[in-house]
């Protein structure tokens, strides 16, 4: 069900490399305004330094995920007419892309709920929201740009929150929603069933932590150390979050996610999966 929610850069007009702004920082080597093509973008919309992004100072690019919004905007909303050949559509295309990305992210979370047996009580609501959101994504550029995104996110989030409560019921997990845990020492912490929605876990030490069934929607795990951590069954964790963190071969991930190539190997004697 998630095929259309996985980025297909070959069907996109390099929208993440043009539409979005970024500032010179630890994530990006340069500053770029929204609507300005990245100097590394090639004529065929591929990245000229894709294989060496981290070495060249662009780790932020390696963790970005559009959830398939790029190809939807390129091939559906604008029917395959790219912004170079149709410069008159460029501004609208760049406005639609970030909205579409948010909608596709919501679709990713909603689709995950349908795979959670413990959340069966909200499955009918989820299916209705998927249908509604999909309909919005197939609308005109103007209708997408004018969408009240916060209102739609709130509608979806209400159901996602209920799904989270159903999945974590009876576990007694801690409520650390929105908590400032930057650099926190949480090595081998018992965070089973915890609500870490929107928590700031930047640079946190989560080595060997038990994060099974933890709700990680919106959690900022940039540079968090997940070496040996168990994230089996964690909910609303995305590939983008995993890519932004640090881990090793002993880190246990949900089956829908893949281990980033830049993660280090596990120390000798550690269990691997």
User: pTM for this one?
Assistant: 0.91
What does the pLDDT look like over 53-76, one tens digit per residue?
999 999 999 999 999 999 999 999
Tell me the β-bridge partners of 195: 175, 215
Backbone CA torsion sign across 143, 79, 96, 128: positive
**What's the average model confidence in pLDDT over 35-39?**
95
Is residue 100 within 8 A of residue 140, CB to CB? The reply is: no
**What's the average model confidence in pLDDT over 155-172?**
95
Reported as a pLDDT band with limits 50, 70 and 90, residue 265 is low
**What's the average model confidence in pLDDT over 116-140?**
98
- Going from N- to C-terminal start, the domains of the chain cover 3-168, 171-273
Assign 265 to helix, strand or coil.
coil
Look at residue 1 in the predicted model and tell me its pLDDT. 64
Backbone CA torsion sign across 201, 205, 207, 212: negative
**What's the average model confidence in pLDDT over 20-25?**
94
Q: Is the pLDDT of residue 272 over 70?
A: no
| Secondary structure letter of residue 267 according to DSSP | P
What does the pLDDT look like over 179-201, one tens digit per residue?
999 999 999 999 999 999 999 99
Q: What is the CATH number of domain 171-273?
A: 2.160.20.80
Exposed / middle / buried, residue 96 (Cβ in 10 Å: 0-12, 13-18, 19+): buried
């Amino acid at each position: 069900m998630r095929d259309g929610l996985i980025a297909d850069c070959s069907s996109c007009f390099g929208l993440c490399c043009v539409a979005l702004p970024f500032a010179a920082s630890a994530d990006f080597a340069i500053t770029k305004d929204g609507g300005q093509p990245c100097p590394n973008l090639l004529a065929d919309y591929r990245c000229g330094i894709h294989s060496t992004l981290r070495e060249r100072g662009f780790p932020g690019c390696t963790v970005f995920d559009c959830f398939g919004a790029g190809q939807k905007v390129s091939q559906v909303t604008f029917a395959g007419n790219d912004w170079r050949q149709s410069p008159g559509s460029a501004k609208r295309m760049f406005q639609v892309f970030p909205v579409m990305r948010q909608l596709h992210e919501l679709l990713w979370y909603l689709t995950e709920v349908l795979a959670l047996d413990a959340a069966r009580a909200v499955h009918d609501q989820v299916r209705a929201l998927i249908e509604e959101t999909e309909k919005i994504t197939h609308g005109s550029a103007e209708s997408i740009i004018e969408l009240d995104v916060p209102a739609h996110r709130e509608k979806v989030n209400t159901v996602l929150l209920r799904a989270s409560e159903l999945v974590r019921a009876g576990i007694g997990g801690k409520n650390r929603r929105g908590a400032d845990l930057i650099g926190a020492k949480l090595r081998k912490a018992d965070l089973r069933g915890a609500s870490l929605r929107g928590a700031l876990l930047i640079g946190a030490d989560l080595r060997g932590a038990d994060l099974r069934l933890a709700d990680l929607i919106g959690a900022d795990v940039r540079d968090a150390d997940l070496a040996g951590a168990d994230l089996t069954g964690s909910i609303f964790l995305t590939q983008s979050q995993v890519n932004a963190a640090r881990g090793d071969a002993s880190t246990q991930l949900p089956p829908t996610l893949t281990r980033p190539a830049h993660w280090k190997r596990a120390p000798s004697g550690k269990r691997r999966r």
